[in-house]
Amino acid sequence: MNFKAPRGTHDLIGPEALRLRQLEEISRNVLYKWNYSEICLPSFEDAGLFTRSIGESTDIVEKEMYVFEDRKGRKLALRPEGTASAVRAVIEHNLTQTLPLVKLFYAGSMFRYERPQAGRYREFFQVGAEYFGNPEPAADAETVIVADEILRKMGLSKTEIHLNSLGCKACRPAFRAALKDYFASQKDLCGDCRRRLEHNPLRLLDCKIDGHKFEGVPKMEDFLCPECSDHFGRVRELLQQSGRAFIVDHRLVRGLDYYTKTIFEIRSASVGSQDALCAGGRYDNLVEELGGASTEAVGFALGSERIILAASNENAFREPQGPVRVFIAVSGESLVKEAFGFAVKLKTSSRNDEIRSGLGLEDKAIRVEGPFAKKSLKSQLKLADRLGADKTIIFGEEEYKLGVVIIRDMKTQGQSEVRVRPA
């Protein structure tokens, strides 16, 4: 029986895994600077948590969730996103009461049963951040800037910030009604649009099939109540103040119901049709809707695979300063014990240990491999080459009797001797 990775999942091997970790490390460094702390959340939750927060008539809940029953008949779901879990954790641990400031971030995989294509997977990685308890426009502007900053630190330049406001409970209903009226007069809507028209008319705005037809479609901005309008204006001012260019995009909506006021997306011109690298916005009602005390909140999620793809396409990856690669070789089986012991010592050494200084490896990051006793010295050196070794330490019988080993520089092929024990 041959097994393959399930459709829509992918293995990240070697350098690919390293790139994901680099992105996460860069994100962590930026987020720490802006005073966010990490939260590790479960990969699955009560399915109802997502249905309640993301919304019954969204694609994610209707079609994309991995829902299952555990052995006790509990209805669970693999998390399709992180915000709902973060809100659940904030309420469950009463974090807004116990912490002076609740700014959280997470990194991990999310699961959605979507049609796989380039940049769209069924298991994918996100880095997300959530800022609770700050109703000020500065919190919205901060999250946009933090997300943008992570993308800049990744070396991306071909990005665009799209911004819109979805208003609030007071002003959105009139906009929805106006949209419904408008769409009712449109002929030839696609199947998805017809289905969404009743429960989720905002989603028609970003329909890939029909979207271009909607000339003169109502704009949320014209329906914003004075508070939402003022809020949106101030978010824009703050972004301008910090030199971040953005596009006010009246067609921007989100596939999740919980958003209020500001929403944003950061898109890249260096990837294909799945060009949203990041999405986020404000969700002032969600904590209360999930049973907590009324708490304003704003956040975002970055799609790691798409960012890595954009960075590769823009040649933006800075390869990390390589460690010194050391290979331990033996000229015959008789010295395997000594060579093995030496390799262990080297692998477990700290940067300034004595064992390193004779080898010129003090204060350096190292990767150590070997010994492989069963191979001839020639094939060990070949393997060292293929592994990209910088130095090979050869345990030769004659030399070892005299208390020395040979160090071979794999580039120049020059050799020298180093004492490893008294003669």
Question: Which structure tokens are listed for 319?
Answer: 């390869």
How do 247-248 and 159-165 pair as beta strands? parallel
Q: Counting contacts by CB under 6 A, is residue 120 touching ligand AMP?
A: yes
Nearest residue (CB) to ligand AMP, 134 versus 159: 159
Residues 6 or more apart whose Cβ sits within 8 Å of residue 324: 361, 364, 365, 366, 367, 390, 391
Supply the minimum distance, in Å, between the C-beta of residue 277 and ligand AMP: 5
Q: Is the dihedral of CA 180, 184, 190, 191 positive or negative?
A: positive
* Closest-approach residue to ligand AMP (CB): 303
Binding of residue 121 to ligand AMP (CB under 6 A): yes
- Among 26-34, 120-128, 137-145, 176-184, the segment contacting ligand AMP (CB under 6 A): 120-128
Whole-angstrom CA distances from 119 to 8, 114, 188, 198, 252 are: 10, 11, 30, 30, 20
**Smallest separation, CB 296 to ligand AMP (Å):** 19
Q: By CB under 6 A, is residue 62 in contact with ligand AMP?
A: no
The interface mask with ligand AMP, positions 79-118, x = CB under 6 A, is --x------------------------------x-x----
Total residues in contact with ligand AMP, by rule CB under 6 A: 17
The CA distance from 308 to 304, in Å, is: 6
Query: Minimal distance in Å, beta carbon 285 to ligand AMP?
Result: 17
**276 forms part of the interface with ligand AMP (CB under 6 A):** yes
CB of 231 to ligand AMP, least distance (A): 21
What is the per-residue DSSP string for 253-317?
Answer: --SSTT-EEEEEEEEETTS-S--EEEEEEE-TTHHHHTTS----EEEEEEEHHHHHHHHHHTT--
Residues of span 213-272 touching ligand AMP by CB under 6 A: 255
CB of 387 within 8 A of CB of 327? Answer: yes
- Please tell me whether residue 277 binds ligand AMP under the rule CB under 6 A: yes
The answer to the question of residue 309 lying near ligand AMP (CB under 6 A) is: no
Q: Which residues contact 156 (CB under 8 A, 6 or more apart)?
A: 268, 270, 277, 307, 310, 311, 314, 316
Q: Write down the least CB distance from residue 300 to ligand AMP, Å.
A: 8
**Mask: binding to ligand AMP, 284-303, rule CB under 6 A, as x and -?**
-----------------x-x
CB atoms within 10 A of CB 302: 26
Taking the least distance from each CB to ligand AMP, the nearer of 247 and 293 is 247
Q: Are 198 and 189 in contact (CB under 8 A)?
A: no
By beta-carbon proximity to ligand AMP, the closer residue of 171 and 278 is 278
Candidate list 50, 105, 106, 124; residue touching ligand AMP; CB under 6 A: 124
Beta bridge partners of 109: 125
**Residue spans of beta strands (DSSP E) within 79-188:** 102-111, 123-132, 159-165
Binding to ligand AMP by residue 161, rule CB under 6 A?
no
- Please report how close the Cβ of residue 59 comes to ligand AMP at its closest, in angstroms: 10
Q: With binding defined as CB under 6 A, does residue 148 bind ligand AMP?
A: no
326: enclosing H helix or E strand: strand 324-330
| Residue 292 or 303 with smaller CB distance to ligand AMP | 303
Euclidean distance between CA atoms 368 and 297, whole angstroms: 48
CB of 155 to ligand AMP, least distance (A): 17
CB of residue 302 to ligand AMP, shortest distance in Å: 6
For residue 191 the two structure tokens come to 């199947």
Report the interface residues with ligand AMP, using CB under 6 A. Answer: 81, 112, 114, 119-121, 124, 126, 255, 276-279, 301, 303, 305-306
